[in-house]
Structure 1
Amino acid sequence: MVIPGGGGELSGITGVILAGGASSRMKRNKALLPIEGETFIGRTYRKLKVLFPELLLVTNTPELYDFIPCPKVPDFYPGAGALAGIHAGLMHAATQHVFVVACDMPFLNESLIRYLCGRGEEGDIIIPENHGGVEPLHAVYSRRCCDPMQESLSEGRYRIIDCFNTLSVVKVSCEEVERIDPHLLSFRNVNTPEEYEMILQGVQGKGKRG
């Protein structure tokens, strides 16, 4: 994997956006929620397209995302959650590594993404920590993860961390992350209407101060 310093595209790694969640608590498709004149997923695509030469959207309903101009790829194990999405991204990617992100994280930090991708050769999984644990939907995965993930999926074990015991996992400490993203905004996502309203209030307040 070749990761250039400074700006420019990240060669040797594919960006993967997961858009397969049920949004059960939100009662609406989180990916299509509006924020500052665009959708959550449109915002994610815009931020990642300048970083990755190859960008994939994992979804089993590609017709909903015709406005996103990148390849849409399906799960091999529909209904098996985010682990199936990561597995599909790895299987469809042309590169040996992928950076995976959920579609409902509106405050992605380019510097943090570059930092994580730059450490991609250190292990099978490069995963950041927050104050409550790890962030598997904002992490780098190697193609070496494919077989363990497929085994877990085939056995009906759908937790992402079920694969960790058989892989080399490098955890990027919360302290390291905070040096780049002091308020850990990269990991903020939306699962409920209340969380969505808080995010909207936050971006509106930021706009007023700016």
Structure 2
Amino acid sequence: MEDRFDHDPVPTRLIGAVLTGGLSSRMGQPKALLPHSTGGSFLSHAIRRMRQVTGEKVLLSLPKDDDQLPLSDGLLSSSSIIRVPDTLPNQGPAVGVWRCLLRAQVRGHSACLLTPVDLPELTATDLQELVQVWQNDPEQIVVANDETEERLQPLVAIYPTRCLPAIEGVVKSHHRSLYRHLQTQSFLRVDLPRASLRNVNSPDDLSSEPS
């Protein structure tokens, strides 16, 4: 069942983004198009989840050569989906984060809430926890943390657009690691359940997905 909120989405200074730019090499097919246990695809689920938190318009980060990723239902084919193709192929997720922040800034937003497409159990309630922390200090980076393993999840995070120069630096670095970058930054952490942050990378992960 989808989460429901009685309040309005957060102010337009925050926009949501779904990252789908990975190669899906271990899965053998685009993870965005995998069927979700609640119906629809991983991608449609991720966008619906994001819309519950940040509103109708959602940035969709896509591989450079796959900006025509098929969107199978009317919800996703609407003009409220803003496609953001990567400019540097196969360079890791930092490129998608950087490109989404650029687009957010151009559109007049001050921050971007990001999630990857391959977290089928992440909920809108989880994302709302990040937003509530960010609203108290909107100049700070807010990052999800696996409360069981004590590991940061830099792709489940809110990045203010002020971070653009630093994220561009990550993209141009030899390591291109957001996790490594965060070790040098001030940020706020939000503990989330391990199950919410379980990602699906291979068919074995998919077969073990809870019903």
Q: Does 1:55 align with 2:66?
A: no
Distance 1:22 1:110 in 2: 26
Distance apart, 1:34 and its partner CA = 1.0
Q: 1:78 aligns with which of 57, 66, 89?
A: 89
Alignment of 1:84-103 (within 5 A): 84-93=95-104, 94=107, 95-103=109-117
Task: Give distance in 2, aligned partners of 1:7 and 1:78.
Answer: 39
Identity %: 25
Structure 1 pair 159/38, CA: closer, same or farther in 2 (3 Å)?
same
- Residues 90 and 151 (structure 1 numbering): CA distance in 2 closer, same or farther, change over 3 Å? same
Could you list the structure 1 runs, at least 4 aligned residues long, displaced by more than 6 angstroms after superposition: none
Q: Which position in structure 2 is the counterpart of 1:24?
A: 25
Is the CA contact (8 Å cut-off) linking 1:124 and 1:144 kept in structure 2?
Answer: no
Aligned position for 2:199: 189
TM-score, normalised by the number of residues in structure 1? 0.82
Where does residue 153 of structure 1 map in the other structure? 171
In structure 1, what is the Cα distance between the partners aligned to 2:127 and 2:7? 12
| Alignment: residue pair count | 189
1:136 aligns with 2:154: yes
- Which residue of the partner structure matches residue 42 of structure 2? 40
- The C-alpha deviation readout for 1:1-45, integer Å capped at 9, x for no partner, is xxxx95321212110000001111111111111123311111111
Q: Tell me by how many angstroms 1:91 deviates.
A: 0.6
Q: Which runs of 5+ in 1 are unaligned?
A: 178-182, 204-210
Across the aligned residues of Structure 1 and Structure 2, the Cα RMSD in angstroms comes to 1.9
Separation (CA, whole Å) in 2 of partners of 1:128 and 1:138: 6
Cα deviation, residue 81, structure 1: 0.9
Equivalent residue of 2:174, what SS?
coil
In structure 1, what is the Cα distance between the partners aligned to 2:154 and 2:183?
14
- Tell whether 2:140 aligns with 1:124: yes
Q: TM-score, normalised by structure 2?
A: 0.81
Q: What are the superposed Cα offsets for residues 53-86 of structure 1, whole Å, 9 maximum, x if unpaired?
A: 3310000312113442311112233321111111
Question: Following the alignment from structure 2 to structure 1, what is the Cα–Cα distance between the partners of residues 49 and 182?
Answer: 28
**Map of 1:207 onto structure 2:** none
**C-alpha contact 2:32 2:117 (8 A) present in aligned 1:** yes
> Do the aligned partners of 1:148 and 1:166 also contact (CA within 8 Å) in 2?
no
Distance in 2 separating the partners of 1:167 and 1:77:
25
Q: Is the 8 A contact 1:128 1:134 kept in 2?
A: yes
Q: Tell whether 2:69 aligns with 1:64.
A: yes
| Structure 1 residues 122 and 50: CA distance shift in structure 2, 3 A | closer
Secondary structure of the structure 1 residue equivalent to 2:53: coil
SS at match of 1:38: coil
In 1, distance between residues paired with 2:120 and 2:201? 13
1:187: Cα distance to partner? 0.7
